Amino acid sequence: MDHPFQGSLVALITPFKKGKVDEEALKKLVEWHIAEGTDGIVPCGTTGESATLDYEEHDRVIEIVVKQVKGRVRVLAGTGSNATAEAIQITRHAERVGADGALLVSPYYNKPTQEGLYRHYKAIAESVSLPLILYNVPGRTSVNILPETVVRLAGIKNIVGIKEACGNLTQIKKVIELCGRDFTVLSGEDAQNFEIIALGGRGMISVTANVVPQRLARMWDRYAAGKKEEAKGIHEALLPLHEAMFFETNPIPVKTAVALMGKCEEEWRLPLCEMEKQNRERLLQVLKEYQLI
């Protein structure tokens, strides 16, 4: 089976300028990623500050990315919400404007049961024909999509994969074993990219790819070509950079890094704010070590 979403996908930041989405910077970022070999663009995820985008902006960011990409790589639009009706609305829009698929974070804050999670995703899947990727990130949502629930959901035709950021390799291994090779498992935890791929994952949705897209793409390409030791070497060389991306809450460090590289403004929306001076200094040091600034 073809895995339409595989390799290095970037969890793209959303650049702001004077309180608004910086559309020109966004388009340039898309072009840069394509030139650097990124396999897919994921707008409006956690790293894209989706939680502080209003509906209009959320739809617009996805639309801009789809138009700019022009079919050259896959666009996996972040369309999740903790209200099922809301997620359906955003996902339908992503389908209308031509996204290749949708990434759906599990409902956060309201802590649904496993049955509630199943019904949530089933309702979304039935409302669109778009391929859907589940997104499990318990550290953000307070809910863990258990492997048994993933298997149930994998039985729905257009639910084609999961982004796993549960941090538990034993759980991820179980998902891969239970769901089989036709189901796409992607790493959602940069520090575990290599381990998840080695278990049978098909790539990663990466925060760090915002900063070193070429290196993440090369890591996957080497692994896919059977050069596993080379891929492992690339992964291990990136570990201090992965760590730096989480000196503070994501996406604060990664957006700071992209801004320091001259590709966007250093601007967030409250409740996110600029880095503490000490952490920013630590980040600067790491970026210099990787010759990024």
Q: Which residue numbers are catalytic?
A: 135, 163
Long-range contacts for 168-171 (Cβ within 8 Å, ≥24 apart)?
169/195, 169/196, 169/199, 171/144, 171/146, 171/147
Q: Phi, psi (5° rounding) for residue 20? A: -115, 160
Q: Which pairs with CB-CB distance under 8 Å and at least 24 residues apart come from 123-128?
A: 123/84, 123/88, 124/84, 124/87, 124/88, 124/91, 125/156, 125/157, 125/158, 125/159, 127/88, 127/91, 127/92, 128/88, 128/91, 128/92, 128/95, 128/102, 128/158
Torsion of CA 48, 264, 59, 104, to 10 degrees: -20
